[in-house]
Amino acid sequence: MPNFDYEAPTSLKTALGVLSGNGENRPLAGGTDVIDQLKNNRRNADLVVDLKRIPELLTLELDEGRLRIGAAVSCTEVHNLTSENDCFPALSEASELIGSIHIQNRASIGGNVCNAAPSADTIPALLVHEAIAHTASATGGREIPLIDFFAGPGQTVLQKGEILKELVLPVPSSNTASAYLRFIPRNEMDIAVAGVGSLIEVDPSSNIVQKARIALASVAPTPVRAYTAENFLEGSTIDNPTIEKAADLAVEAAVPITDVRGSAEYRKELVKVLTKRTLNICRERLA
């Protein structure tokens, strides 16, 4: 392990002061990505700032029409809350897919976002649920729609001394369903070859789609939304031909690479299949 110092401030103000100091100051939440990256020199640090003793970053609240997820809250906690309340099903599903239960117990949703892997499982789920990233820094904070948070593989728009404080998601109406699916060549413990999150909100009297959100993982340098497919779905009724067409259109948003996990062509086919499947799951959940 390379050399670094370690601090675990107990207030957000102290943490932001420390993070804005000279040197490479690396925020730490669950550590399941960062510690491995430090060991392998894929990220460096002069100082590791453990955020798990800061109350604001450990908040997990579902009230007043919003879900607030503090940046250091674990995947397990988010999975438990969302599954018990039967809301945010895509997020509930994605937070149970990251690594093993041992990883989910430590890894935070905020860390999954800030690690900014194109394959991150929770990001499509957060995107379809319209998460806003609330940041904090010594000079103030920003509210960034999550789709604008990513700058490239492993890169975010966070500036030096700025951290993700929390993710805020509006509670969907009761006429809304969402789902997240990824493809991996085994059942567990792998990185998405492609992942798709979908959300559908319908008008309960006419069954016409009022809102459609489709987000894709592992098929571009950052997570992406499939806007053309979303626009096509809005105003339609959900039937088999509509789902087929939306799945074809979702592929247009994918600009995948060929690598050890799969070829670009294969990933595009996966986007089509997973979009179809997630939309069908949404349809079943709305029925």
Partner 1 sequence: MSKKHIKTTVNNVEHEILVDSTWTLLETLRDHLGLTGTKEGCSNGNCGACTVMIDGKSSCSCLVLAPEIDGRKVTTVEGLADHGHLSPVQDAFVENSGLQCGFCTPGFMIAATALLNENPHPTENEIRLKLAGNLCRCTGYDKIVRSVQDAAERLSKS
Applying CB under 8 A, which residues contact partner 1? 1-6, 8, 28, 31-32, 35-36, 39-40, 48, 50, 52, 76, 99-103, 105-106, 187-189
**Closest distance of CB 59 from partner 1, Å:** 18
Q: Which is nearer to partner 1, 46 or 56 (CB)?
A: 46
| CA terminus-to-terminus distance, the chain | 53
Could you give the angle at which helices 264-286 and 240-251 cross, rounded to 10 degrees?
Answer: 150
Contacts of 220 (CB under 8 A, 6+ apart): 118, 253, 254, 255, 256
Virtual torsion, Cα 228, 234, 238, 239, nearest 10 deg: -50
**Closest distance of CB 67 from partner 1, Å:** 22
**Closest distance of CB 28 from partner 1, Å:** 8
**Closest distance of CB 190 from partner 1, Å:** 10
Give 3-state DSSP helix, strand, coil % of the chain, rounded to 5: 35, 25, 40
Sheet of strand 5-7: strand arrangement: 5-7, 47-50, 25-28
Q: Which is nearer to partner 1, 14 or 40 (CB)?
A: 40
**Closest distance of CB 43 from partner 1, Å:** 14
Q: Which is nearer to partner 1, 6 or 239 (CB)?
A: 6
Q: Which is nearer to partner 1, 191 or 220 (CB)?
A: 191
**Closest distance of CB 128 from partner 1, Å:** 24
Q: Which is nearer to partner 1, 72 or 128 (CB)?
A: 72
Residue with tokens 């003793």: 53
Q: Which is nearer to partner 1, 111 or 118 (CB)?
A: 111
Using only C-alpha atoms, the chain has a radius of gyration, in whole angstroms, of: 19
Task: Round to whole Å and give the CA distance between 84 and 195.
Answer: 24
**Closest distance of CB 5 from partner 1, Å:** 5
Contacts of 217 (CB under 8 A, 6+ apart): 118, 119, 120, 121, 123, 124, 182, 192, 194, 195, 196, 197, 223
Task: Round to whole Å and give the CA distance between 239 and 260.
Answer: 36
Q: Which is nearer to partner 1, 2 or 170 (CB)?
A: 2
Whether 10 contacts 54, CB under 8 Å: yes
